[in-house]
Amino acid sequence: MTVLGPWVVSQSCTDLPRVGAVDEMGGVGAGADRATDDDQAISDQMIHERGMVIPAVLFADSAAVVPRRAVYEGAQKEGHGLTLGETSGKGSAGGTPAPSTLLPETVVVAVTRLLTNDDASALSELLRRNRVVLAPWQPLRSDSFFTLKGQQESVAQALVQHQAGNSVPLVIDDGTQVIGTITLQSIIRGAFQSCSVGYWLAEDAQGQGLATEALREAVHLAFHELHLHRVQAETLVHNVRSQRVLDRLDFARYGLAPAYLKIAGRWQDNLLYQLLTPALELVGLE
């Protein structure tokens, strides 16, 4: 699937979108994040939110992790000008130190959680606001796709695929609201042990490192929770921003697929990327 920007769903395997491919939860790729992320290390520590284990992305010197939303709301309640992803001891963008009582030695950067039926309303509104921006990276969509009913149907379909073990549909949350989706889809076991990834991000949420964080968490989940061997992604040839995000996470470009996906009404070439597991002993035996 294509990463960042175009969502690409493996139509032959599932109705869910893939990266660089078509994401039925939002379409084919929104723009990729800019390279403004702090260097971060993936921790084996996990957090639970809404019944799902979510990988926590931490700075190397972090001692604990809690859900991003909980910290954000706690900081607001206490009157602190806390910047999401900030550590105690590091000043916020406005120069206000993060409250040590709230975030002792902690960085909260988890931005993904499992999609739920309750997200349909927020997603329909988000997709309507970003329809023009997303259009160049998506298949042609009917007006009904952007309605509440249309998104309720898309969410329900995504959760059916999740229950069947074919995908893991996640929403991207900046701590105050849903700003996009990212999906591990077309999960194939046996000798392949592979999946594709796709995501999109609202225009006003781009350029803040959130797409990169979300992709990093999804990749961690693929290797450490699903025990897959590889994650595939595709991008339209001219989707440079998405390619930069993939490069930052060490995805390797391995080919070009001519006329791979029908995006914006025409069959378009895609660059193919993959990322392999960091350790073969993590790979499942199914």
Q: What is the pLDDT of residue 30?
A: 30
| Average pLDDT rounded to a whole number, residues 152-165 | 98
- Number of helices (H), then strands (E), belonging to the chain: the values are 6, 11
> What are the Cα distances from residue 145, in Å, to 31, 91, 243?
20, 42, 27
User: What pLDDT, on a 0 to 100 scale, did the predictor assign at position 108?
Assistant: 46
What is the average pLDDT across 79-89?
35
pLDDT single digits (tens) 223-278: 999 999 999 999 999 999 899 999 999 999 999 999 999 999 999 999 999 999 99
Query: What are the pLDDT digits (tens) for 34-55?
Result: 333 333 333 233 333 333 333 3
Confidence of residue 72 (pLDDT cuts 50, 70, 90): very low
How far is residue 147's CA from residue 138's CA, in Å, rounded to a whole number? 17
CB 71 within 8 A of CB 83: no
Report d(CA 244, CA 262) in Å as an integer.
Answer: 23
Q: What is the tens place of the pLDDT at every residue in 115-154?
A: 999 999 999 999 999 999 999 999 999 999 999 999 999 9
Smallest CA-to-CA distance from 73 within 104, 106, 108, 40 is with 108
- Return the HEC string of the chain: CCCCCCECCCCCCCCCCCECCEECCCEECCCCCCCCCCCCEEEEEEEEECCEEEEEEECCCCCECCCHHHHHHHHHHCCCCCCCCCECCCECCCCCECCCCCCCCEECCCCEEECCHHHHHHHHHHHHHCHHHHHHHCCCCCHHHHCHHHHHHHHHHHHHHHHCCCCEEEEEECCCCEEEEEEEEEEECCCCCEEEEEEEECHHHCCCCHHHHHHHHHHHHHHHCCCCCEEEEEEECCCHHHHHHHHHCCCEEEEEEEEEEEECCEEEEEEEEEEECCCHHHCCCC
pLDDT of 109 reads 53
**What phi and psi values does residue 181 have, to the nearest 5 degrees?**
-140, 155
Phi and psi angles of residue 154, each rounded to the nearest 5 degrees, phi first: -65, -45
Question: 1-41, pLDDT tens digit by residue?
Answer: 333 333 322 222 333 333 344 454 544 433 333 333 333 33
Round to whole Å and give the CA distance between 128 and 147.
8
pTM of the model: 0.69
What confidence tens digit (pLDDT) does each residue in 86-119 have?
Answer: 333 333 333 333 333 333 344 445 799 999 999 9
Query: What confidence score (pLDDT) does residue 286 get?
Result: 64
The percentage of the chain sitting over the pLDDT mark of 90, rounded to a whole number, equals 58
- The amino acid that residue 93 corresponds to is A
HSE-CB for 58 with a 13 A CA cutoff: 21
Beta-bridged to residue 200, according to DSSP, are 181
Q: Which CATH number fits domain 22-37+111-282: 3.40.190.80, 3.20.20.80, 3.40.50.620, 3.40.630.30?
A: 3.40.630.30
Tell me the per-residue pLDDT of 220-236, one tens digit each, with 9 for 90 and over. 999 999 999 999 999 99
pLDDT band with cut points at 50, 70 and 90 for residue 170: very high
- Where are the domain boundaries for CATH 3.40.630.30 in the chain? 22-37+111-282
